[in-house]
């Protein structure tokens, strides 16, 4: 158990809908990262927050947004969902900002029908 929690575990929804994925980092970790893992794209970095502020951005679509709250939990919002958004979404956390070990949550499996 990494200490990172993600909810929900599974999500099935229809195209055009909006969903919110939630992540709670390990106690004491200030950075939260979001990743998308799909069969054709592999593990793609989406975005990082550090202590409430956006710190780094990866291949995140404009339809996706995230935030980190004062209690350090984070939410990833996915809107206008498309079939291709079906994937595993992982949250990870680390103590600091940069090159630290990242601790991954169990993931949320999103299926868009």
Binding site residues, another protein, CB under 8 A = 2, 4, 33, 35, 42-43, 45, 48, 55-56, 58, 88, 90, 92, 98-99, 101-107, 109
CB of 16 to another protein, least distance (A): 26
Q: Both tokens of residue 40?
A: 């054709």
In contact, 91 and 31? CB cutoff 8 Å: no
CB of 41 to another protein, least distance (A): 9
**Residue 3: DSSP 8-state:** S
CB of 43 to another protein, least distance (A): 4
In contact, 47 and 58? CB cutoff 8 Å: yes
């Amino acid at each position: 158990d990494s200490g990172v929690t993600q909810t929900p575990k599974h999500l099935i929804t229809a195209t055009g809908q909006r969903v919110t994925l939630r992540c709670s980092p390990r106690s004491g970790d200030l950075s939260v990262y979001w990743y998308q893992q799909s069969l054709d794209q592999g593990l793609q970095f989406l975005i990082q927050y550090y202590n409430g502020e956006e710190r780094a951005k990866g291949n995140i679509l404009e339809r996706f947004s995230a935030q980190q709250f004062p209690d350090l939990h984070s939410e990833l919002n996915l809107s206008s969902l498309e079939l291709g958004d079906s994937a595993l979404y992982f949250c990870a956390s680390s103590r600091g900002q940069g090159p630290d070990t990242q601790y991954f949550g169990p993931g949320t499996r999103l299926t868009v029908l």
